[in-house]
Amino acid sequence: MLPPPVSATTDEAIPALICELCRLFYTLGWVSGTGGGVSIRGREGIFMAPSGVQKERMRPEHIYLLDGDHLLGEARVLRPPTDPNLRISECRPLFYNAYRLRGAGAVIHSHSIWALLAARLFSPRGEPAELRSQDLEMQKGLRGHGCFDLLRVPIIANTARESELSDSMEAAMRAYPDVDAVLVAGHGVYVWGADWVQAKTQAESYDYLFRALVEAHRLGLPITPRPAA
């Protein structure tokens, strides 16, 4: 008998999966210094890592289960972590944007240095802007994109509190329906997908592209081979 598809994850397995992904992303520098995070939608609701914890040391009992039917306003906790000192992630309204506006199955927030530097290339003062990429094979890892397409990713300005990014992220998502990512200047990137596998694939592809753009710039190579359409 064939094994189940890799994306076929039961609700019981999701907390451990979030911990596994956070350990993996920690090695990539995406969730160091307690930053970043991962959230996955299951049948019961939305599973989410807590705020301000060592992401590589989390255990399944640290993961929140939130009501996925109430995505506006305050979060409704269906099952809190066993540790009463833990708090819901500051990223929660941003994760909810992807669930509410795009029907996402999973969201990854990365503090990758490549996301930060790539955003800086196109937004030198941290202002709202647009990252552009073209003619890179790894664009195929992104929904609806081929390697020769012009990829345009919105960049929003950072705010003092993560939760204050919610409105500008929503506006960027509405303005860029063809991409599943929003860069935050001086901060990182939010990437989502229809399920956790697509979210991970897209987050990895974006990180590769961000690094390619930064390294090309460092080497003095053109970073957008063709003029913008």
Residue 162 designated active-site:
no
Rg (the chain; Cα; Å): 17
State how far the Cα of 166 lies from the Cα of 37, in Å rounded to an integer: 16
Q: Residue 112 and residue 120: Cα distance in Å, rounded?
A: 13
Question: What is the rounded distance in angstroms from the CA atom of residue 122 to the CA atom of residue 116?
Answer: 10
Instruction: Identify each DSSP E strand in 50-110 by its residue range.
Output: 64-66, 77-79, 106-110
**Residue 105 identity (one-letter amino acid):** G
Q: How far apart are CA 151 and CA 162, in angstroms?
A: 26
Q: Of residues 61, 127, 137, 215, which has the active-site annotation?
A: 137
List residues with catalytic annotation: 137
